[in-house]
Amino acid sequence: MQKELSTVVKVRFSDCDPIGHLNNVKYLEYMLNAREDHVENGYGFTYEEYTRRTGCTWITIQNEIAYLKEVRYNAKVMITSKTIEVGDRLSKVEILMKSEDGSTIHSVLWLTVIYFDMKTRRAAIQPPETINLFKDFLVNLEEPDFKSRMASLRKLNKSVSK
């Protein structure tokens, strides 16, 4: 079973600033769109199907993002995502934007999501089968927090560029 799912996308001219760099907001769009595809292709459901079936969904309550290396117009980038924390109510996902060959990390995004009941409009406890599904895909990182993870990825980029 593949725990870190990936997609390759081409950076579009319309998503870049006047000097040809990917706009900061567009990093989020590319990364979130890739995650949505990863959930469908890897986990076997769409968010829409899940919400319709269970009456619940996941709401992002926190984004932590670091831009480590510029991405230019027309570049092809690999976007990977993985579940890095699963709890009764809160879960965390890491999404990386890398060079097409995976050697350089352009950006890292940590999403903290809360399981949310659409009827009660409140946080809810995830059903055991949902927790177990995500635990099957769980990846344990060496770094305990975002700041440490970002520093580790910056160091990795420096070792590659030498």
For the chain, domain boundaries: 5-161
**Per-residue DSSP letter, 42:** I
Distance CA 142, CA 14 (A): 37
**What pTM does this model have?**
0.95
Contacts 24+ apart (CB under 8 A), 48-57: 51/118, 54/127, 55/117, 55/118, 55/119, 56/115, 56/116, 56/117, 56/118, 56/124, 56/126, 57/115, 57/116, 57/118
Q: List pLDDT tens digits, range 47-91.
A: 999 999 999 999 999 999 999 999 999 999 999 999 999 999 999
pLDDT of residue 160: 83
SS3 94: strand
CA distance 16 to 39: 27
- What is the third-level CATH fold of 5-161? Thiol Ester Dehydrase; Chain A (3.10.129)
Instruction: Tell me which long-range contacts 90-98 makes (C-beta under 8 A, separation of at least 24).
Output: 90/61, 90/114, 90/115, 91/58, 91/115, 91/126, 91/134, 93/35, 94/139, 94/141, 94/149, 95/31, 95/32, 95/34, 95/35, 96/153, 97/27, 97/30, 97/31, 97/71
Confidence tier at 162 by pLDDT (50, 70, 90): low
pLDDT on residue 33:
97
Q: In this structure, what token pair is assigned to residue 28? A: 């989020």
Count the alpha carbons within 13 Å of 26 in the hemisphere toward its beta carbon: 19
Query: Which pLDDT score is estimated for 1?
Result: 72
Over 80: is that where the pLDDT of 106 sits?
yes
Q: What is the DSSP letter of 160?
A: H
Bridge partners (DSSP) listed for residue 41: none
